[in-house]
Amino acid sequence: MARALMLTAPRQLRFEEVAADVPGPGEVRLRSLLSGISHGTELNLYRGTSAFVDHVFDRELRSIVPAGEIAAYPATLGYGLVSAVEEVGAGVEGLSPGDVVHTGTPHRDEAIVDVAQAARGAFPLVRLPPGASLESALFISMGTIALQGVHDAQIKLGDHVAVVGLGAIGLLTAQMARLSGAATVHVVDPIESRRQLALQLGADTAHDPRAAEPSTGVAVKRALGGRGVDVAIETSGVDAGLHDAMACAHLGGTVVAVGFYQGGSPRLRLGEEWHHNRLTLLSSMGGWGAPHRSAPAWDRARLVPAVADLLFSGAIVTSGLPVRTFRFAEAADAYRWLDEHPADAIKVALSYD
Protein backbone atom coordinates (compact mmCIF):
# COMPACT_ATOMS: atom_id res chain seq x y z
CA MET A 1 0.00 0.00 0.00
CA ALA A 2 1.05 3.57 -0.67
CA ARG A 3 0.34 6.62 1.50
CA ALA A 4 -1.21 9.91 0.42
CA LEU A 5 -1.24 13.05 2.56
CA MET A 6 -4.71 14.47 3.14
CA LEU A 7 -5.93 17.72 4.71
CA THR A 8 -9.05 16.88 6.75
CA ALA A 9 -9.67 20.31 8.33
CA PRO A 10 -7.67 23.50 8.88
CA ARG A 11 -4.29 22.48 10.36
CA GLN A 12 -5.37 18.81 10.48
CA LEU A 13 -3.47 16.24 8.37
CA ARG A 14 -3.59 12.48 8.09
CA PHE A 15 -2.19 9.76 5.85
CA GLU A 16 -4.55 7.75 3.69
CA GLU A 17 -3.56 4.33 2.43
CA VAL A 18 -4.11 3.85 -1.28
CA ALA A 19 -3.50 0.86 -3.52
CA ALA A 20 -0.04 0.66 -5.12
CA ASP A 21 -1.31 -0.31 -8.55
CA VAL A 22 0.51 -1.69 -11.56
CA PRO A 23 0.63 0.95 -14.31
CA GLY A 24 -1.81 0.42 -17.16
CA PRO A 25 -1.35 1.40 -20.80
CA GLY A 26 -0.01 4.93 -21.07
CA GLU A 27 0.83 5.11 -17.35
CA VAL A 28 3.96 5.07 -15.22
CA ARG A 29 4.45 4.21 -11.55
CA LEU A 30 6.54 6.74 -9.67
CA ARG A 31 8.48 6.31 -6.43
CA SER A 32 8.67 9.65 -4.64
CA LEU A 33 12.02 11.21 -3.71
CA LEU A 34 11.25 14.81 -2.73
CA SER A 35 8.24 17.13 -2.86
CA GLY A 36 8.04 20.84 -2.18
CA ILE A 37 5.48 22.61 -0.01
CA SER A 38 4.12 25.87 -1.39
CA HIS A 39 4.39 28.85 0.97
CA GLY A 40 1.38 30.43 -0.75
CA THR A 41 -1.40 28.17 -2.01
CA GLU A 42 -0.70 25.20 0.26
CA LEU A 43 -0.08 27.17 3.42
CA ASN A 44 -3.33 29.08 2.93
CA LEU A 45 -5.22 25.84 2.35
CA TYR A 46 -3.60 24.38 5.47
CA ARG A 47 -4.52 27.44 7.55
CA GLY A 48 -8.07 27.51 6.23
CA THR A 49 -7.62 31.04 4.89
CA SER A 50 -8.16 30.11 1.25
CA ALA A 51 -11.38 30.95 -0.55
CA PHE A 52 -11.65 27.25 -1.34
CA VAL A 53 -12.55 26.31 2.23
CA ASP A 54 -16.23 26.89 1.43
CA HIS A 55 -16.16 27.98 -2.22
CA VAL A 56 -15.21 26.47 -5.58
CA PHE A 57 -14.08 28.00 -8.86
CA ASP A 58 -16.70 27.44 -11.56
CA ARG A 59 -14.63 27.18 -14.74
CA GLU A 60 -17.59 27.73 -17.04
CA LEU A 61 -18.71 30.90 -15.27
CA ARG A 62 -15.09 31.82 -14.38
CA SER A 63 -16.42 32.78 -10.96
CA ILE A 64 -15.87 31.82 -7.33
CA VAL A 65 -19.16 30.39 -6.09
CA PRO A 66 -20.35 28.74 -2.84
CA ALA A 67 -19.32 25.10 -2.66
CA GLY A 68 -22.85 23.91 -1.91
CA GLU A 69 -22.81 20.13 -1.58
CA ILE A 70 -19.16 19.85 -2.62
CA ALA A 71 -17.16 18.99 0.50
CA ALA A 72 -14.02 21.03 1.11
CA TYR A 73 -12.38 18.16 3.00
CA PRO A 74 -10.60 15.85 2.72
CA ALA A 75 -8.31 17.53 0.19
CA THR A 76 -4.92 16.75 -1.25
CA LEU A 77 -1.96 19.11 -0.97
CA GLY A 78 1.08 19.58 -3.16
CA TYR A 79 1.96 20.15 -6.80
CA GLY A 80 5.72 19.69 -7.03
CA LEU A 81 6.81 16.03 -6.81
CA VAL A 82 10.28 14.80 -7.77
CA SER A 83 10.24 11.03 -8.24
CA ALA A 84 11.89 8.05 -9.89
CA VAL A 85 10.13 6.03 -12.58
CA GLU A 86 9.66 2.49 -11.24
CA GLU A 87 7.48 0.86 -13.90
CA VAL A 88 6.37 1.86 -17.37
CA GLY A 89 3.07 0.78 -18.87
CA ALA A 90 2.47 -0.30 -22.45
CA GLY A 91 2.69 2.43 -25.06
CA VAL A 92 4.73 4.89 -22.97
CA GLU A 93 7.58 6.39 -24.97
CA GLY A 94 10.49 8.52 -23.79
CA LEU A 95 10.48 7.24 -20.19
CA SER A 96 12.30 4.28 -18.68
CA PRO A 97 12.66 2.81 -15.19
CA GLY A 98 15.25 4.80 -13.28
CA ASP A 99 14.44 8.13 -14.93
CA VAL A 100 13.86 11.01 -12.50
CA VAL A 101 10.91 13.27 -13.26
CA HIS A 102 9.06 16.28 -11.89
CA THR A 103 5.25 16.23 -11.91
CA GLY A 104 2.43 18.35 -10.51
CA THR A 105 1.42 15.44 -8.26
CA PRO A 106 0.22 15.80 -4.63
CA HIS A 107 2.35 14.59 -1.71
CA ARG A 108 2.39 10.79 -1.63
CA ASP A 109 5.08 8.13 -1.53
CA GLU A 110 3.98 6.42 -4.75
CA ALA A 111 1.90 7.60 -7.67
CA ILE A 112 0.42 6.22 -10.86
CA VAL A 113 0.51 8.93 -13.53
CA ASP A 114 -1.17 8.95 -16.93
CA VAL A 115 1.57 10.41 -19.11
CA ALA A 116 -0.75 11.97 -21.70
CA GLN A 117 -2.95 13.51 -19.01
CA ALA A 118 0.12 14.80 -17.16
CA ALA A 119 1.27 16.51 -20.36
CA ARG A 120 -1.91 18.61 -20.28
CA GLY A 121 -1.66 19.52 -16.60
CA ALA A 122 -0.71 22.81 -14.98
CA PHE A 123 2.75 21.35 -14.29
CA PRO A 124 3.41 18.83 -17.08
CA LEU A 125 5.74 15.91 -16.48
CA VAL A 126 9.35 16.76 -17.28
CA ARG A 127 12.32 14.40 -17.18
CA LEU A 128 15.41 15.60 -15.35
CA PRO A 129 18.84 15.31 -17.01
CA PRO A 130 21.10 12.60 -15.54
CA GLY A 131 22.77 13.74 -12.33
CA ALA A 132 20.52 16.78 -11.90
CA SER A 133 20.15 18.18 -8.38
CA LEU A 134 16.94 17.01 -6.75
CA GLU A 135 16.79 20.19 -4.66
CA SER A 136 17.03 22.30 -7.81
CA ALA A 137 14.13 20.30 -9.23
CA LEU A 138 12.02 21.39 -6.25
CA PHE A 139 11.95 24.87 -7.82
CA ILE A 140 10.44 23.81 -11.16
CA SER A 141 6.84 24.55 -10.10
CA MET A 142 7.77 27.88 -8.51
CA GLY A 143 9.96 28.71 -11.51
CA THR A 144 7.06 28.09 -13.86
CA ILE A 145 4.94 30.61 -11.95
CA ALA A 146 7.84 33.07 -12.02
CA LEU A 147 8.42 32.68 -15.76
CA GLN A 148 4.73 33.18 -16.47
CA GLY A 149 4.90 36.42 -14.47
CA VAL A 150 7.98 37.61 -16.33
CA HIS A 151 6.28 36.85 -19.66
CA ASP A 152 3.20 38.79 -18.54
CA ALA A 153 5.48 41.71 -17.62
CA GLN A 154 6.81 41.89 -21.20
CA ILE A 155 10.14 43.27 -19.99
CA LYS A 156 12.05 45.16 -22.69
CA LEU A 157 15.82 45.42 -23.05
CA GLY A 158 16.87 48.30 -20.82
CA ASP A 159 13.77 48.35 -18.60
CA HIS A 160 13.99 49.07 -14.89
CA VAL A 161 12.18 46.37 -12.89
CA ALA A 162 11.08 46.01 -9.27
CA VAL A 163 10.30 42.65 -7.64
CA VAL A 164 8.27 42.87 -4.43
CA GLY A 165 8.39 39.74 -2.25
CA LEU A 166 11.46 37.50 -2.08
CA GLY A 167 10.19 34.04 -1.42
CA ALA A 168 11.14 31.32 -3.90
CA ILE A 169 9.06 32.86 -6.69
CA GLY A 170 10.41 36.37 -6.11
CA LEU A 171 14.07 35.28 -6.03
CA LEU A 172 13.58 33.35 -9.27
CA THR A 173 11.66 36.26 -10.82
CA ALA A 174 14.47 38.72 -10.05
CA GLN A 175 16.97 36.50 -11.87
CA MET A 176 14.63 35.96 -14.82
CA ALA A 177 14.03 39.71 -15.12
CA ARG A 178 17.76 40.25 -15.55
CA LEU A 179 17.94 37.46 -18.15
CA SER A 180 15.05 39.15 -19.97
CA GLY A 181 17.07 42.33 -20.47
CA ALA A 182 16.32 44.44 -17.41
CA ALA A 183 18.91 47.20 -16.98
CA THR A 184 18.34 47.30 -13.23
CA VAL A 185 16.45 45.09 -10.78
CA HIS A 186 15.22 46.51 -7.45
CA VAL A 187 13.89 44.14 -4.81
CA VAL A 188 11.64 44.71 -1.80
CA ASP A 189 11.19 42.41 1.20
CA PRO A 190 11.05 42.89 4.99
CA ILE A 191 13.43 39.95 5.66
CA GLU A 192 17.10 40.97 5.61
CA SER A 193 18.45 37.50 4.74
CA ARG A 194 16.25 37.40 1.64
CA ARG A 195 17.34 40.86 0.57
CA GLN A 196 20.97 39.79 0.92
CA LEU A 197 20.31 36.67 -1.14
CA ALA A 198 18.77 38.77 -3.89
CA LEU A 199 21.78 41.09 -3.94
CA GLN A 200 24.13 38.10 -4.16
CA LEU A 201 22.07 36.85 -7.10
CA GLY A 202 22.45 40.14 -8.97
CA ALA A 203 19.81 42.61 -7.76
CA ASP A 204 20.95 46.25 -7.87
CA THR A 205 19.20 47.59 -4.77
CA ALA A 206 17.27 45.98 -1.92
CA HIS A 207 14.69 47.77 0.23
CA ASP A 208 13.05 46.99 3.56
CA PRO A 209 9.43 48.19 3.25
CA ARG A 210 9.27 48.73 7.02
CA ALA A 211 12.25 51.09 7.03
CA ALA A 212 12.04 52.86 3.65
CA GLU A 213 11.66 56.62 4.07
CA PRO A 214 9.23 58.12 3.43
CA SER A 215 7.93 55.04 1.58
CA THR A 216 9.07 52.07 -0.47
CA GLY A 217 7.99 53.70 -3.72
CA VAL A 218 9.94 56.88 -3.02
CA ALA A 219 13.04 54.89 -2.00
CA VAL A 220 13.02 52.91 -5.25
CA LYS A 221 12.41 56.05 -7.32
CA ARG A 222 15.25 57.88 -5.61
CA ALA A 223 17.55 54.92 -6.40
CA LEU A 224 16.64 55.53 -10.05
CA GLY A 225 17.31 59.26 -9.94
CA GLY A 226 13.67 60.18 -9.43
CA ARG A 227 12.13 57.88 -12.03
CA GLY A 228 10.03 54.84 -11.17
CA VAL A 229 10.39 51.38 -12.64
CA ASP A 230 8.90 50.40 -15.98
CA VAL A 231 7.56 47.15 -14.55
CA ALA A 232 6.87 46.07 -10.95
CA ILE A 233 6.24 42.37 -10.32
CA GLU A 234 4.56 41.52 -7.03
CA THR A 235 5.05 37.98 -5.64
CA SER A 236 4.33 38.36 -1.91
CA GLY A 237 0.61 37.59 -2.04
CA VAL A 238 -0.26 40.35 0.44
CA ASP A 239 -2.02 43.62 -0.26
CA ALA A 240 0.77 45.73 1.27
CA GLY A 241 3.19 44.18 -1.24
CA LEU A 242 0.89 44.95 -4.14
CA HIS A 243 0.53 48.52 -2.94
CA ASP A 244 4.33 48.87 -2.75
CA ALA A 245 4.62 47.50 -6.29
CA MET A 246 2.20 50.11 -7.57
CA ALA A 247 4.08 52.83 -5.70
CA CYS A 248 7.37 51.83 -7.38
CA ALA A 249 6.10 52.22 -10.95
CA HIS A 250 6.42 55.43 -12.96
CA LEU A 251 3.69 57.16 -14.96
CA GLY A 252 2.04 54.67 -17.32
CA GLY A 253 3.98 51.74 -15.86
CA THR A 254 2.90 48.11 -15.54
CA VAL A 255 2.30 46.12 -12.36
CA VAL A 256 2.07 42.33 -12.57
CA ALA A 257 0.40 40.57 -9.65
CA VAL A 258 1.75 37.04 -9.28
CA GLY A 259 0.86 36.41 -5.62
CA PHE A 260 -2.15 34.38 -4.46
CA TYR A 261 -3.93 36.89 -2.21
CA GLN A 262 -5.87 35.96 0.91
CA GLY A 263 -8.26 37.93 3.05
CA GLY A 264 -9.25 41.53 2.47
CA SER A 265 -7.18 44.44 1.27
CA PRO A 266 -7.32 47.17 3.93
CA ARG A 267 -3.85 48.43 2.97
CA LEU A 268 -4.50 48.66 -0.77
CA ARG A 269 -5.15 52.33 -1.53
CA LEU A 270 -6.26 52.55 -5.13
CA GLY A 271 -6.75 56.28 -4.92
CA GLU A 272 -3.01 56.86 -4.69
CA GLU A 273 -0.31 55.86 -7.24
CA TRP A 274 -2.48 53.38 -9.13
CA HIS A 275 -4.98 56.09 -10.00
CA HIS A 276 -2.66 59.08 -10.37
CA ASN A 277 -0.02 57.31 -12.51
CA ARG A 278 -2.54 55.55 -14.76
CA LEU A 279 -0.95 52.16 -14.12
CA THR A 280 -1.78 48.94 -15.91
CA LEU A 281 -2.42 46.13 -13.40
CA LEU A 282 -2.19 42.56 -14.70
CA SER A 283 -3.02 39.30 -12.93
CA SER A 284 -0.57 36.52 -13.78
CA MET A 285 -2.28 33.14 -13.67
CA GLY A 286 -1.35 30.03 -15.61
CA GLY A 287 -3.59 27.45 -13.95
CA TRP A 288 -7.33 26.96 -13.69
CA GLY A 289 -7.72 26.87 -17.44
CA ALA A 290 -6.21 30.32 -17.99
CA PRO A 291 -4.08 30.22 -21.17
CA HIS A 292 -0.73 31.95 -21.53
CA ARG A 293 -1.11 35.47 -22.95
CA SER A 294 1.08 34.37 -25.88
CA ALA A 295 -0.84 31.15 -26.57
CA PRO A 296 -0.60 29.06 -28.63
CA ALA A 297 3.09 29.94 -29.02
CA TRP A 298 3.54 29.46 -25.27
CA ASP A 299 1.68 27.09 -22.95
CA ARG A 300 2.46 25.08 -19.83
CA ALA A 301 3.88 22.25 -21.92
CA ARG A 302 6.53 24.70 -23.11
CA LEU A 303 6.96 26.73 -19.90
CA VAL A 304 7.86 23.81 -17.61
CA PRO A 305 10.69 22.38 -19.77
CA ALA A 306 11.96 25.93 -20.34
CA VAL A 307 12.22 26.44 -16.57
CA ALA A 308 13.93 23.07 -16.13
CA ASP A 309 16.49 24.06 -18.77
CA LEU A 310 17.15 27.38 -16.98
CA LEU A 311 17.62 25.61 -13.65
CA PHE A 312 19.81 22.76 -14.81
CA SER A 313 21.95 24.86 -17.15
CA GLY A 314 22.86 27.16 -14.25
CA ALA A 315 21.24 30.21 -15.85
CA ILE A 316 18.98 30.40 -12.78
CA VAL A 317 20.73 29.76 -9.45
CA THR A 318 19.03 27.94 -6.56
CA SER A 319 22.03 26.44 -4.79
CA GLY A 320 22.13 29.19 -2.15
CA LEU A 321 18.40 29.17 -1.39
CA PRO A 322 17.75 27.59 2.04
CA VAL A 323 15.63 24.44 1.97
CA ARG A 324 14.29 22.89 5.20
CA THR A 325 13.62 19.15 4.73
CA PHE A 326 11.35 16.87 6.77
CA ARG A 327 10.69 13.16 6.32
CA PHE A 328 7.34 12.34 4.71
CA ALA A 329 6.28 10.69 7.98
CA GLU A 330 6.82 14.08 9.62
CA ALA A 331 4.57 15.96 7.19
CA ALA A 332 2.38 17.30 10.01
CA ASP A 333 5.49 18.71 11.67
CA ALA A 334 6.62 20.26 8.38
CA TYR A 335 3.36 22.15 7.86
CA ARG A 336 3.24 23.19 11.50
CA TRP A 337 6.81 24.50 11.30
CA LEU A 338 6.08 26.41 8.09
CA ASP A 339 2.89 27.84 9.61
CA GLU A 340 4.88 29.11 12.60
CA HIS A 341 8.12 30.10 10.79
CA PRO A 342 7.13 31.13 7.23
CA ALA A 343 10.15 33.43 6.88
CA ASP A 344 12.82 30.93 8.00
CA ALA A 345 13.16 28.95 4.77
CA ILE A 346 12.77 29.71 1.10
CA LYS A 347 11.51 26.18 0.52
CA VAL A 348 10.19 23.40 2.74
CA ALA A 349 10.47 19.87 1.37
CA LEU A 350 9.35 16.36 2.22
CA SER A 351 11.87 13.55 1.75
CA TYR A 352 10.70 10.02 0.94
CA ASP A 353 13.98 8.09 1.04
Least confident residue range of 14-28, 71-85, 264-278: 264-278
In the 8-state DSSP scheme, what is residue 274? H
pLDDT value of residue 269: 85
Q: Give the domain CATH number at 70.
A: 3.90.180.10
The answer to whether residue 307 sits within a structural domain is no
Q: How large is the angle between the packed helices 140-153 and 168-179, nearest 10 degrees?
A: 50
Supply the pLDDT for residue 306.
97
pTM of the model: 0.93
Q: Are both 330 and 267 inside the same structural domain?
A: no
- Please tell me which residue, 286 or 91, carries the higher pLDDT value: 91
For residue 57, with 0-12 CB atoms within 10 Å meaning exposed, 13-18 middle and 19 or more buried, which class applies?
A: middle
**What does the pLDDT read at residue 264?**
66
Residue 18: per-residue pLDDT = 84
101 located within any domain: yes
Residues 122 and 149 in one domain: no
Instruction: Determine, yes or no, domain membership for 127.
Output: yes
Q: Is the pLDDT of residue 265 over 80?
A: no
What mean pLDDT is reported for the chain?
Answer: 92
Choose one of 234, 256, 283: the last residue of a domain.
Answer: 283
pLDDT grade for 327, boundaries at 50, 70 and 90: very high
Q: What are 107-151's pLDDT values in tens digits?
A: 999 999 999 999 888 899 999 999 999 999 999 999 999 999 999
- Is residue 259's pLDDT more than 90? no
- DSSP helix/strand/coil, 306: helix
User: Residue 285 — left, alpha, or beta (φ > 0 → left; ψ -120 to 50 → alpha)?
Assistant: beta
Q: Single out the residue in 268, 283, 298 at which a domain terminates.
A: 283
Residue 263 has pLDDT above 70, yes or no: no
Question: Helix H segments across 190-330?
Answer: 192-200, 216-223, 239-248, 273-276, 300-313
Same domain membership, residue 18 and residue 61:
yes
Same domain, 93 and 212: no
In which region does residue 29 sit, left (phi positive, over 0), alpha (psi from -120 to 50) or beta (all else)? beta
pLDDT tens digits, 268-287: 888 888 889 999 999 998 88
Q: Averaged over 207-235, what is the pLDDT?
A: 95
The reply to whether 198 falls in a domain is yes
Is position 74 within any domain? yes
Q: Could you tell me if 113 and 15 lie in one domain?
A: yes
Whether residues 336 and 227 fall in one domain:
no
Beta strands (DSSP E) in the chain are: 2-9, 12-18, 27-37, 55-58, 63-66, 75-76, 81-88, 100-103, 110-114, 126-127, 160-164, 184-188, 205-207, 229-234, 249-257, 280-283, 323-327, 347-351
89 and 198 share a domain? no
Does residue 267 carry a pLDDT above 90? no
Q: ω into residue 130 within 30 of 0, thus cis? A: no
pLDDT above 90: residue 66:
no
- Greater confidence (335 vs 265) lies with 335
Residue 187 maps to which CATH number?
3.40.50.720
Task: Say whether both 131 and 173 belong to one domain.
Answer: no
Give strand pairing partners of 201. Answer: none
pLDDT band at 187 (very low <50, low <70, confident <90, very high): very high
The per-residue pLDDT for 194 is 96
Looking at the structure, tell me whether residues 112 and 199 fall in a common domain. Answer: no
Quick one: pLDDT at residue 84? 97
274 domain residue, yes or no: yes
Q: Are residues 146 and 135 in the same domain?
A: no
Specify whether 135 is located in the same domain as 146: no
Domain final position from 283, 309, 341: 283
Q: Is residue 297 part of a domain?
A: no
Tell me the three state secondary structure of residue 205: strand
Domain membership of residue 295 (yes or no) is: no
To the nearest whole percent, how much of the chain has pLDDT over 70? 99
227 and 335 both lie in a single domain:
no
Task: Say how many domains are in the chain.
Answer: 2
Give the per-residue pLDDT at 65.
85
Domain boundaries, position 176: 141-283
